Structure 1
Amino acid sequence: MKILLLDLDTLRPDHLGCYGYSRNTSPNIDKIAEQGMRFNNYYCSDAPCLPSRASLMTGRFGIHTGVVGHGGTAADQRLEGEGRVMQDANARDNLPSLIRKYGYHTALVSSFAERHAAWWFYAGFNEVHNVGKRGMESAEEITPEVLKWIEANKDKKNWFLHVNYWDAHTPYRAPKEFGNPFENEPLPECDWITDEVLDKHKKKIGPHSASELSMYDNEVPIRFPRMLGEITNQKELRETMDEYDCGIKYMDGHIGQILKALEDNNMTEDLAIIVTADHGENMGELGIYEEHATADLPNCHIPMIIKWPNSQGGREDNAFHYNLDLIPTLQDLLGEPPNQRINAKITGKVTPPEWDGISYAKTVVSGEAEGRDYLVISQCAHTCQRGVRFGKWLYIHTYHDGYHLFDDEMLFDIETDPQEQFNIAEKHPQICYEAVYKLHKWHKDMMLSMDSQIDPLWTVIAEGGPFHAKGHLKEYCKRLKETGRGYGIEELKRRHPREFE
């Protein structure tokens, strides 16, 4: 069998046609969904890029891998210590290592490991192709490598190819000559950002607000002409949304080239295709634009589409799943590995993988519902937050606000307020109590199931805060004064006194 994993950075499912988006951003991804199964409540356990892919590849929560941030101690995986044998867990039980146990040739086309110095990301791959731009490349630089690989491997029976595209990630980088295929179309799903709402967003304090699309200022990056420095009116709002959709459309066209090459080389028989993302993107939610900064719906809700051979297409699943559930699911779909290695010197038996994931293979094969009662989602790179997704609710507890002045507790009714405009925590204390109970139970289970008694979220805070919100506050306060938003400075000083020492 052949397995193609399309790992599409910063892709919100609600901007794909197969998830109900009215713009034609994703015709090729939509075709895959027509032939496979679409998962509607799929979440990354730990956002953004580095923590999410650590969980995807290991099948473990960030609190277990140790990777919850983009810098400092919490950007590195925990050491296995004195019990480590010749190969570590990445070499034995991560995603490509598992697939190799079945006799598959594994290949990666991605610059992700170099972008984050996450060299463990290469573990388990027979081949690694890195175009060398650390995630700043666009699709026309990636696709030729993929097409070359397909041509060279058209006679191989069993392979796993992991392809990573970045075009929906800021800075939006679709070539200018691609134009804007949406310039004459209505702007969908954004009518909630009225002039009144946009005015509030312009007054908001925090990086990547409408007044600081470049994080802490409104400088326009010259080498990326599709990027704006700020959003001051509805025209610029539309331009921002259009450019995100252009990135998706441009990437989807290149996915179409891959699908055509597979078909032209007679490689579609017994072909599995998995389409997913590491995280989504704030596009106005919580007053943040063009960033993946929070533990909430737009950031942690991701697409998952699986086209599996001999399975019925055009189906959907509404159960709760994590991205870390993929590894045990693939093991169940592929069956027991034929050559399980036994380390007799240590245990005399096969050591089971330490995955946190739960298989949903029955859902893929027959549509039988297999999911979780609730999810705990995390963010520690821009803010420090943990969220609980259950029923129609999203509860978020903020440990470090990333200079956004968030309330400690936020509760949203996702069914009626998917844009997270109205914090109703005070109106529903009982729901908050339930969420806190679920969060506490999850945390207790996590802490009891690992050797270390250190929660990496608290390591991030002890080391000065999230990587993208550390050391910027004094300069940012100057900008707040210059832009008439000095009213928040005293509260920032109260919350983050260490930044002013």
Structure 2
Amino acid sequence: MRILYIDIDSLRPDHLGCYGYHRDTSPNIDSIARESMIFTGCYTPDAPCMPSRTAFYSGRFGIQTGVVGHGGTGADPKPQGVSRSFDDQFGAYGLGRQLQNLGFHTAMISPFGQRHSAHWFYAGFNEIHNTGLGGMESAEQVLPVIKEWLLKNQEQDNWFLHINLWDPHTPYRVPEHFGNPFEKTPLPDWLQDPSALERHQKMVGPHSALDVGMYNGEEDPNHPRQPGSLTCESQLRRLIDGYDTGVLYADDAVGQIIQNLKDAGLYEETAIIVSSDHGENLGELGIYAEHGTADEITCKVPMIIKWPGGHTGINSKLHYNLDLAPTLMDLLGGETQEIWDGQSFAAAIVSGDSNSGREEVALSQCAHVAQRSIRWADWLYLRTYHDGFHLFPQEMLFNLKEDPYEQNDLAATSPEICKEGAWRLMRWHDAQMQKMAEFASDSVDPLWTVVREGGPFHARPISPGHPGSKEALRAYFDRLENTGRSEGAAKLRERHAARISE
């Protein structure tokens, strides 16, 4: 058995043709999807990049591992303590090691471990190819390494290869010679309403419509596909086209990889999984070109699995990406680890079982904001513990069936549903704390560690020059006043007075 895991950073599923997108962004992924089981309700439990991939390979929630953010204590695993033997939990129980135990040669083509100093990401891998640019690679820089590896190993069996493609990740960096394939294709319907952009232009916070560059509206001349500020419809189109072109560029690379497998006679017998670490907000919650919340759009990921002899079709139940670890063990005859938080959905692949999945999923974000949410039925209930300078209320509620782009917060008018969401989230949290007491060296929720340390890394007033430093925040609040958002600036100054004081 050969398994190819294609990890396309920041890939939101609803911008793929096989998930219903109207733009032709993914002809090659769509061709794989026609031979696959497509999971339409798959989420990362912990966003963004580092927490998601840590959860995926460890098979555990961030609340258990301690990895929930991009800086501070929440960017490092919890010390294992006295139970730590010659090997740690990542090495002993991670997906990579379990695949090795089944006789797989595990290989990775990715700079991710170095990008985030997440060296546990490599646990259980025989072979690591760091493409060297820390996530700023475009596909033309990654493809030669992938093609060389496939050529070298085409005669070998029982390998698992993880490859990273980065092109949809901000800043949108597809080479200019690729052109703009979407310049004459309409924007998504909901963004064609000018009132949406007008409403967003009044909002405050990093990566808002007038601050796409995080805390400013500056453009980077090295990345002309990404505007610094969305002052008009043409700039909005430029941003959406930039993202979608990144998806198409990555898809073109996927097509070349698939052709290599076909030329070697390996395509039919190779299991192919297409997924991502997280999505990308493109106007949802008023945020653009970022993956900074615990919402539907940031946390939902594609999960497309072409399994030799497996079923094809659509599974719409809820899943986590970390459910893939026990699923692979079931499919390959391995053992699910007691420490894992995942649940196998192998039945969906083996027999097409449409009931294989969960009734709810809990989502977390501690890099840009400190939030947790619970997703069930048509509902998304969000609780905010640090707003990341977005003025989010403590709780938000969205009916995703009627409002998939999260524009209408129903918390004030639906208190009973909010109560149910809070109860569901509390029930999940209680279960996690009980499990933590059994398997971890402490009983500390890392979300609260992030808050105690001053907030999420990308919104923390630490050293001068950091985007979230006190000096930078004061300058940002001045910018808000100078761009017609003085009311929002006043509210932020009041809410975060202690964080910007001398």
Which TM class, normalised by the smaller chain length? over 0.9
Deviation string for 1:36-73 (max 9, x for gaps)?
10001001101100111110011111100101111000
CA contact (8 A) 1:93 1:353 kept: no
The within-5 A match list for 1:168-317 is 168-187=168-187, 189-313=188-312, 315-317=313-315
What percent identity do the matched residue pairs reach? 51
Deviations 1:110-145 (A, max 9, x none): 011111000011111111111110001100000110
The one-letter code of the counterpart of 1:120 is W
Whether the aligned pair in 2 keeps the contact of 1:193 and 1:284 (CA below 8 Å) is no
The structural deviation recorded for 1:227 is: 1.5
Is the 2:98–2:334 Cα contact (8 Å) retained in structure 1?
A: no
Q: 1:14-413 maps to which residues of 2 (within 5 A)?
A: 14-187=14-187, 189-313=188-312, 315-336=313-334, 352-368=337-353, 369-413=355-399
Unpaired stretches in structure 1, ≥5 consecutive residues? 338-350
Q: Which amino acid aligns with 2:143?
A: T
- Say whether residues 1:453 and 2:451 are aligned partners: no
Range 49-58 or range 446-455, more displaced: 446-455
Amino acid at match of 1:479: R
Say whether residues 1:467 and 2:452 are aligned partners. no
Deviations 1:221-259 (A, max 9, x none): 121121211111111111111110000001100111110
Instruction: Find the aligned partners of 1:65 and 1:489 in 2 and give their Cα distance.
Output: 36
Normalized against structure 2, the TM-score is what? 0.95
Shift of 1:354: 0.6
TM-score, L = length of structure 1: 0.95
Ranges in structure 2 where 5+ consecutive residues have no aligned partner: 462-467
Cα deviation code 1:3-35 (max 9, x no counterpart): 000011000100000000111100111111100
C-alpha RMSD of matched pairs (Å) = 1.2
Per-residue deviation, residues 176-201 of structure 1 (Å, max 9, x unmatched): 000011112222x2434522221121
One-letter code aligned to 1:98? Q
- What is the DSSP-based 3-state SS (H/G/I as helix, E as strand, rest coil) of the residue aligned with 1:135? coil
Q: 1:57-90 deviations in whole A, cap 9, x for unaligned? A: 1111110010111100000011111111111121
The aligned runs of 1:426-441 (5 Å cut-off) are: 426-441=412-427
Q: Distance in 1 between matches of 2:189 and 2:113?
A: 34
Q: Residue 212 of structure 2 aligns to which amino acid in structure 1?
A: L
3-state SS, counterpart of residue 324 of structure 1: helix
Asked if the contact 1:37/1:316 (under 8 Å) is kept, the reply is yes
Q: 1:449 aligns to what SS in structure 2?
A: helix
Deviates more, 1:290-299 or 1:487-496: 487-496
Q: Distance between the aligned counterparts of 1:40 and 1:336, measured in 2?
A: 26
Q: For residues 262 and 100 of structure 1, what CA distance do their matches in structure 2 show?
A: 23
Contact 1:474 1:499 in 2 (8 A): no
CA distance in structure 2 between the aligned counterparts of 1:460 and 1:193, rounded to whole angstroms: 38
Does structure 1 retain, via aligned residues, the 8 Å contact 2:64–2:432? yes
Q: Distance in 1 between matches of 2:337 and 2:405?
A: 41
Tell me the distance in 2 between the aligned counterparts of 1:59 and 1:305. Answer: 19
Whole-Å Cα distance in 2 between the matches of residues 199 and 468 of structure 1? 26
The aligned amino acid for 1:13 is P
Query: 2 CA distance for matches of 1:184 and 1:198?
Result: 20
